[in-house]
A = this chain, B = another copy of it.
Amino acid sequence: MTAPLHKAHPAGPGRALPDTQQGMRRRNLARVMHTVSAEGPLSRAAVASRIGLTRAAVSTLVDELIRCGLLEELGPERPGRVGRGRPGSALAVSGHGPAGIGAEIGVDHLAVCAVDLRGEIRARVVRQGTNRDRSPEPVIEELTGLVRRVVAEVAREGLWPAGLAVAVPGLVARDARTVVRAPNLGWHDTDLGSLLPAELPLTVDNEANFGALAELWLGEGTPRDFVHVSAEIGIGAGVVVDGRLLRGTRGFAGELGHVPVRPDGPECACGGRGCLEQYAGEEAVLRAAGLAPGEDRVGLLAGRATEGDEDVRRALRDAGEALGVALTGAVNLLDPESVVLGGALAGLAPWLLPSLRSELARRTAGPACPVSVSGLGPEGPLLGAAHWVVRGVLDDPAGVAEVGVRG
């Protein structure tokens, strides 16, 4: 009798961890870090009023964070003090503590960078050259070399790596280690965790996802609910809901490229017909524009379009229209605050946007969802990866401090 009528729901209220006093302290440490990180140099009193704790409590939290090297005292707060009382002592996130290492495996390049807690890029290495159809081992080996170089470089400035995040052009399993399918690299079911050095906590994710996160964290005026569309070769989207990335059960969410645009359209490699990629994918656009694939395909398209090449412009207009149809579906389903075009699409936006926007507006009752262009350029995914690690530190300073005190 009185059998379980409500099903268990693991998420429950708050987190699944026992809500003990230590957990409380950890969360408050995180709140201090986030506040200082987000709102620049701040006095203890300012932090206290922002997070709703007392000055006394914040004092002890700050002391602990300073001892761990995550926060720094800049000295008496000079700038813009208007009030009358004693000036506070400015606190800032440390520029000599942990660093996030971001890496990107592109079809045509490898890149690694290091970002400190302040969000500053402290080192960056890029190696040009195609990785198409190279087997994973040599690529990862090369990447490992670049990572070591970057780590060594920032170590000279007193930074130590808190983790490594790798952006790949393909689907990544929810374990955040295994590349399930990366068509343009020719990789499938590859466990990068076993190939990369185990010293650093590793996160692997789709480049579209990291691009979306970069937009969320670094974009100007980006809301907490948006769809970030990017294209390298395929078309991927990062869906951000309430400030959190939507991953899906298997980690495959955001596959905008295979949303059906015309159910009876041309066949697609995915098995479907008339997928968005058949209209707005790089290959399809090049073909429609009468161009051959080669190096710097996006630059080529942009160049020709600027020169006034009608074939290219028409191809891009049609691609924008197809994007508009697919995004209408996405907008109806998700009701985001905006759609952001990033990656290669950002560079082609001038020719894509008009048809995309009009298609979206035409199909929407009421005000259409605004479409904007990312200002982050092609480095979005790389920055997103590095910042992923940084966010991890901000989200649980106590966790890394354990490891990092003697880093």
B272 touches A5 (CB 8 A): no
A251 to B225, CA, bound (A): 12
Q: Which of A222-266 contact B (CB under 8 A)?
A: 222-225, 237, 239, 241-244, 246-263
Q: Which of A309-326 contact B (CB under 8 A)?
A: 325-326
| Chain A 358-394 interface mask (CB, 8 Å, partner B; 1/0) | 0000111100000000000000000000010010001
Partner of A258, one of B38, B251, B263, B332: B332
B325 touches A263 (CB 8 A): yes
A335 touches B7 (CB 8 A): no
Interface size on A, residues (CB 8 A): 95
Other than the given A10-B224, A20-B24, 11 more pairs (CB < 8 A) read A2-B118, A11-B242, A18-B52, A20-B52, A223-B249, A252-B335, A259-B333, A260-B261, A262-B263, A270-B365, A333-B333
* A404 interfacial by beta-carbon distance below 8 Å: no
A-B contact pairs, 25 of them (CB 8 A): A2-B41, A2-B92, A2-B118, A6-B217, A7-B218, A9-B34, A9-B217, A11-B224, A13-B395, A17-B52, A18-B51, A19-B24, A20-B53, A223-B249, A237-B333, A241-B241, A241-B246, A253-B333, A253-B335, A259-B333, A260-B329, A260-B363, A272-B364, A329-B330, A330-B333
The winner among A271, A332, A395 for most chain B CB atoms within 10 A is A332
A363 to B259, CA, bound (A): 9
How far apart are A49's CB and chain B's nearest CB, in angstroms? 11
Partner of A333, one of B19, B52, B255: B255
The winner among A218, A225, A362 for most chain B CB atoms within 10 A is A225
* A337 interfacial by beta-carbon distance below 8 Å: yes
* A15 interfacial by beta-carbon distance below 8 Å: yes
A28 to B241, CA, bound (A): 27
Majority secondary structure, A binding face: loop
How far apart are A117's CB and chain B's nearest CB, in angstroms? 9
* A4 interfacial by beta-carbon distance below 8 Å: yes
How far apart are A257's CB and chain B's nearest CB, in angstroms? 8
* A44 interfacial by beta-carbon distance below 8 Å: no
Q: Which B residue's beta carbon lies closest to that of A3?
A: B40
* A396 interfacial by beta-carbon distance below 8 Å: yes
* A168 interfacial by beta-carbon distance below 8 Å: no
A378 to B229, CA, bound (A): 38
A248 touches B21 (CB 8 A): no
B28 touches A119 (CB 8 A): no
Q: Which of A117-155 contact B (CB under 8 A)?
A: 118-120
A363 touches B270 (CB 8 A): yes
How far apart are A362's CB and chain B's nearest CB, in angstroms? 6
Q: Which of A89-129 contact B (CB under 8 A)?
A: 92, 118-120
- Given A254-B333, A260-B328, A271-B365, the answer on whether A12 and B34 have CB atoms closer than 8 Å is yes
* A27 interfacial by beta-carbon distance below 8 Å: yes
- Given A241-B241, A271-B364, the answer on whether A31 and B19 have CB atoms closer than 8 Å is yes
The winner among A20, A30, A329, A336 for most chain B CB atoms within 10 A is A329
- Given A18-B53, A19-B24, A260-B328, the answer on whether A38 and B8 have CB atoms closer than 8 Å is yes
* A334 interfacial by beta-carbon distance below 8 Å: yes
A259 to B331, CA, bound (A): 9
* A80 interfacial by beta-carbon distance below 8 Å: no
* A199 interfacial by beta-carbon distance below 8 Å: no
Partner of A39, one of B8, B257, B270, B328: B8
Residues of B within 8 A of A15 (CB): 14
B334 touches A248 (CB 8 A): yes
How far apart are A280's CB and chain B's nearest CB, in angstroms? 13
